[in-house]
Amino acid sequence: MDGKVVIITGATSGIGASAAKLFAKEGASVVASGRRMDRGIELEDEVRAAGGEITFVRADMASDDDIKAMVETAVTKYGRLDYAFNNAGMGGDPSPLHEYEDDDWQAVLNVNLTGVYRCMKYEIAAMLETGAKTEFGACIVNNASTLGHRGSELSGMAYTTSKHGVIGLTRQAAIHYVKQNIRINAVSPGATETELLSGVLEQGPEAVAMLAAVNPIGRLGSSAEVAHAALFLCSDGARMITGHSLPVDGGQMAHL
């Protein structure tokens, strides 16, 4: 990925941080975003110490202005945009639907779905002028979830709905831009060891084992494994793949 430029959102922890390090290791210039400036500076230092190129941009995925500025930073500093991994997301309230607060519903959708839509809007506009004009074209990967394909007694209403929406948005946009040399896919992680699951992880080994059992492989996924899936979908080896949501779930979707 030498000479390529990638935007990675939600990069201050978990899957996003792993992806930022991985894409930089493979030669891409990384524009990483997140809300925590201290974590962003730490990420920059780590990537640069390993010989990678990275710029951290503080951005809230609920802010259209922040998202627009993030994409403008990539183009202004590096002159192009080839890839994007729209990874940022939040879990939300697990309350039953009849007890759900409108503000909680809207907060999750603003980040998990509308935030992805806004990222894609500005990313695609930049790609049409830069990365899409190259031989191999440009690529966007959205972070969905296995809960974008099914329901769950454990998941919150807004979270599951938002992830279904991400997959629908991914498929629709893929059809619209395939002839303009932009591929758009998603990854659908199963239970993965990230900060989003910190509440479960803190409950101890039994709670972790119960969650891991959802994945037939018998363990939680790792952030690095999801990052590698995103890297593959952006690579030239995936040139025939668009409109797809790739499960990274240890067999969970196959088992259902």
- Please report the pLDDT score of residue 164 as a whole number: 98
Rg of the chain over all Cα atoms, to the nearest angstrom: 17
- Please report the pLDDT score of residue 193 as a whole number: 82
Q: Is the pLDDT of residue 32 over 80?
A: yes
What pLDDT digit, counting tens, does each position of 150-205 carry?
Answer: 998 878 899 999 999 999 999 999 999 999 999 999 999 998 887 766 665 666 67
Least confident of 47-56, 142-151, 191-200, 241-250: 191-200
Query: Per-domain residue ranges for the chain?
Result: 5-195+222-255
Distance CA 92, CA 159 (A): 6
Nearest to 174 by CA among 82, 244, 234: 244
Nearest to 225 by CA among 190, 196, 254: 190
% of the chain residues with pLDDT over 70:
95
What pLDDT digit, counting tens, does each position of 206-215 carry?
Answer: 767 777 788 8
Question: Is the Cβ–Cβ distance between 187 and 245 less than 8 Å?
Answer: yes
- Decide if 117 is catalytic: no
Say which residue the tokens 């979707």 belong to.
253
Provide the phi-psi class of 38: left if phi over 0, else alpha when psi is between -120 and 50, else beta: alpha
Beta bridge partners of residue 5, listed in sequence order = 29
Cα-based torsion angle of the residue sequence 117, 158, 142, 114 in order, rounded to the nearest 10 degrees: 10
- Residue tagged active-site, from 78, 122, 159, 177: 159
- Please report the pLDDT score of residue 171 as a whole number: 98
3.40.630.30, 3.30.70.380, 3.40.50.720, 3.10.110.10: CATH of 5-195+222-255: 3.40.50.720
What pLDDT digit, counting tens, does each position of 79-124 carry?
Answer: 999 999 999 999 888 899 999 999 999 999 999 999 999 999 999 9
- Please report the pLDDT score of residue 200 as a whole number: 58
- Please report the pLDDT score of residue 195 as a whole number: 73
**Segment 236-248 mean pLDDT:** 97
Q: Residue 62 corresponds to which tokens in the numbers above? A: 């609920």
- Please report the pLDDT score of residue 203 as a whole number: 64
- Please report the pLDDT score of residue 81 as a whole number: 98
- pLDDT band at residue 239 under the 50/70/90 scheme: very high
% of the chain residues with pLDDT over 90:
82
**Segment 2-16 mean pLDDT:** 96
152: three-class secondary structure by DSSP:
coil
**Average pLDDT, rounded, for the chain:** 94
Write down the pTM of the prediction.
Answer: 0.94
